[in-house]
Amino acid sequence: MSTKQTIYYTFTDEAPALATASLLPIFGAFAKEADIELKLTDISLASRVIAAFSDLLPADKQVEDGLKFLGDLTAQPEANIVKLPNISASLPQLYATIKELNAEGYGLPEYPENPQTDEEKDIQARYSKVLGSAVNPVLRQGNSDRRAPAAVKGFARKNPHSMGKWSKTSISHVDYMREGDFYSSEQSTTMETAQTVKIEFVAKDGSVEVKKSLPLLAGEIIDSMNISTKKLREFFEATMQEAKEDNIMWSVHLKATMMKVSHPIVFGHAVTVFYKDVFEKYGELFKEIGVNPNNGLGSVYDKIQSLPEAKQEEIKQAIQDVYKTRPELAMVDSDKGITNLHVPSDVIVDASMPAMIRNSGKMWGRDGKAHDAKAVIPDSTYARIYQETINFCKTNGAFNPVTMGTVPNVGLMAQKAEEYGSHDKTYEMKADGVMRVVDANGNILMQHNVEKGDIWRACQTKDAAIKDWVKLGVTRARQSDTPAVFWLEDARPHDNELRKKVETYLKDHDTSGLDIRIMSYNEAIRFSMERIIRGLDTISVTGNILRDYLTDLFPILELGTSAKMLSIVPMLNGGGMYETGAGGSAPKHVQQLMEENYLRWDSLGEFLAVAVSFEELGIKHNNEKAKILAKCLDKATGKLLDTNKSPSRKVGEIDNRGSHFYLALYWSQELAAQTEDADLAAKFAPLAKQLADNEDKIVAELAAVQGKPSGLSGYYHMDLNEVAKIMRPSATFNSALATL
């Protein structure tokens, strides 16, 4: 396949797909002038479903498997993919898709929930590849490069979001375990040769149970660690008593979503310690009726509904009595009485801590007001950076979005690096004994004494991913001429293994003139914060968890949201994927378009991603015109933000299409005005003039269609011609664009 000078733009689902119908023609028309082609690749849910059965369909119904195509493309150094948000299909969405397609005559089989025959099993297998998070694992073949684009940063500086003041007498703080946690118990080693190691549990009686066989590559780092449930529960109890004494709200901050296995268990302990009176009294009953504390106190309220009313009331009263002996709990929703301990996924550390820091260090109390709080983050590995940040804010006051610098991130993510607490290597111990990792020759690589209830987990990080991550760190430092800090904790065995590699691989690169440092987490965040308040930027080059945490923390402080970050996955093999936003595919926006022909989807993410996509092509192919297109697109985006031409929310105002028009106007004006390439300037000057002259007319044409049903027929399987008609209603704009 020829990927030269080609950008593969994904056609996905719902609002982003609709927006593409309006936006891609603009991108395409402008790109042509730099000899770049934008190819649309359909990875919509409907297309993926059809592709899964293409071999069984008549020729006119067959489609190319767009996802497979892009997946193969990621292996090519030339890959340049702009990835829009897509549907991670649930079963109901799959059913609806099948129904819609069959109404069009596809004749697809129904999804067999309980497949019996081989045929049914084959059908289910084909559908399974389409369900759930099916796209990202195929396309994210690299590490992570996230940053606030200049236009977004500039906009935030000019239009600063609200930021709560910090008092020097704030009593908010982070509390974390000092022993018995993952941080204190971590062990790590680097494999010299490729081999399959075994994770084993040795019981008290000496019997050995192989929990898992794990094939490892040469140079791969493997870690293991354990959290003592006894110490964890003692710690929770101590923090609650301390909070009660100090008259401060109590809260726990975990990541039960990402650390899918370990953190829900930790959350469950928080629940049973806080409500220990209730769980001691009703423990047996709760077991019978299926209460799972890992699902939060909500699980208690849910499950007791099967009990007689009087018993329910008794238990509810017992819960109320607990509040008299415990510190006040931070609330998720004080109106509805939903506390921090209600649902494990309500309070997610990477979002909740930045929110607290942005809100003067306060969380919401039962009275609906903001109060200082003790933020309990049991494992100390990453908890300490939040305490450092809080101390910093107490000392220096709140960050100022107008003047603060930025902290972009280069995150280790490729080849499933550092997936701590993910499900496949995390175990809740069922008995006392020893957990160990044994190599192919029977040597014990690592081992921990464990007790029943402890959580033991292992984690892998591949050498190739690390090598690429170091390269990406250096590249970003060079390209943005910004100091880069590798966040590697002196006291962490895993990080020390990593550090050896980092120090080795740094030598492979020309780092002359660059400021590249290695610092422990607290040092690194402090260094970054000391710089940020002086308006200076610092790249954080971090592992996977800190990638996740920091790309929320700093964006939320700098921009008020992490949704406006540029998210790039430079592929291990040299290509690049440019993600256009962390948001979903926005079904409600489609509904609004259907009902009143108004699309409020904001294509900011697409503008930003495409600019980087152009820039990358420009660098790779020495295509100077592409670089200028990129530069001018960024300027146009900045102007669009400044002039408030982003989509509004209501009929009669500017929507997604109007916003695209202004992008085209500003972009062409920037291209006409630039002096680096006279040819380009000459090409775009007439368009700029035409668009500017017809601004009122075009805006009127775009507004004219609003307020009545759009007539969109397909939902999952959109008719591109129909959509194009709906999304490009301004003849004046269309013909102007066609002059290019």
Candidate segments 26-34, 203-211, 241-249, 500-508, binder of its own copies by CB under 8 A: 241-249
Q: In sequence order, what are the residues at sequence separation of 6 or more whose Cβ sits closer than 8 angstroms to the Cβ of residue 475? A: 570
**499 assigned binding-site residue:** no
d(CA 433, CA 292): 25
Measured from the CB atom, the residue of 372 and 596 that comes closer to its own copies is 372
Q: Per rule CB under 8 A, is residue 173 in the interface with its own copies?
A: yes
Of 55, 105, 162, 168, which one interacts with its own copies (CB under 8 A)?
Answer: 168
Q: How many chain residues interact with its own copies (CB under 8 A)?
A: 17
Strands 566-570 and 144-147: what pairing?
Answer: antiparallel
Task: Give yes or no for residue 253 binding its own copies (CB under 8 A).
Answer: no
Distance CA 322, CA 277 (A): 7
CB of 179 to its own copies, least distance (A): 13
Closer residue to its own copies in complex, CB, 374/462: 374
Q: What angle do CA 531, 253, 189 make, to 5 degrees?
A: 75
Which one of 62, 76, 93, 167 is in contact with its own copies (CB under 8 A)? 167
Contacts to its own copies from residues 439-498, by CB under 8 A: none
Nearer to its own copies, 294 or 387 (CB): 387
How far apart are the C-alpha atoms of 716 and 100, rounded to whole Å? 7
Structure tokens given for 142: 């690299």
The reply, when asked if residue 140 is annotated as ligand binding, is: yes
The type of residue at 204 is K
Comparing CB distances to its own copies, the nearer of 489 and 596 is 489
Which of the ranges 289-297, 391-399, 424-432, 640-648 carries the binding residues for its own copies, by CB under 8 A? Answer: 391-399
> Distance (Å, rounded) from C-alpha 552 to C-alpha 546?
10
CB 452 within 8 A of CB 579: no
If residue 95 lies in a helix (H) or strand (E), which one and from where to where? helix 91-103
**Does 377 help bind its own copies (rule: CB under 8 A)?**
no
Using CB under 8 A as the binding rule, whether residue 246 contacts its own copies is answered as yes
Q: Is 474 annotated as a binding residue?
A: no
| 603 annotated ligand binder | no
Return the residue of 394, 509, 621, 725 that touches its own copies, per CB under 8 A.
Answer: 394
Given the complex with its own copies, which of 131 and 171 has the nearer CB atom? 171
Q: Per rule CB under 8 A, is residue 512 in the interface with its own copies?
A: no
Question: Any binding-site annotation on 576?
Answer: no
Contact flag: residue 387 with its own copies (CB under 8 A) = yes
In the complex with its own copies, the residue whose CB is nearer, 381 or 613, is 381
| Of 117 and 169, CB closest to its own copies | 169
CB-based contacts of 493, cutoff 8 Å, min separation 6: 186, 187, 188, 223
The total number of residues shown for the chain amounts to 740
| Residue selected from 2, 114, 116, 395 as contacting its own copies according to rule CB under 8 A | 395
276-289 and 262-274 helices cross at what angle (nearest 10)?
120
- 285: contact with its own copies by CB under 8 A: no
- φ/ψ of 531, rounded to 5, equals -75, -40
Task: Indicate the SS3 state at residue 713.
Answer: coil
Joined together, the tokens standing for residue 147 give: 């940053």
Q: Which among 262, 203, 223 has a CA at the least distance from the CA of 437?
A: 223
The residue assigned the tokens 């962490």 is 492
Region binding its own copies by CB under 8 A among candidate stretches 29-37, 250-258, 388-396, 465-473: 388-396
* C-alpha–C-alpha distance, residues 30 and 158, integer Å: 29
Q: Residues 312, 391, 573, 674: which binds its own copies (CB under 8 A)? A: 391
Q: Is 555 annotated as a binding residue?
A: no
SS3 content of the chain, % helix, strand, coil (to 5): 50, 15, 35
Handedness of CA 456, 462, 467, 468 (dihedral sign): negative
Binding residues: 83-88, 133-140, 146, 350, 547-548, 552, 584-585, 589, 600-602, 649
Binding residues for NADP(+): 83-88, 136, 584-585, 589, 600-602, 649
Binding residues for Mg(2+): 350, 548, 552
Q: What does the binding site for its own copies look like in residue numbers (CB under 8 A)?
A: 167-171, 173, 175, 242, 246, 248, 372, 374, 387, 391, 394-395, 526
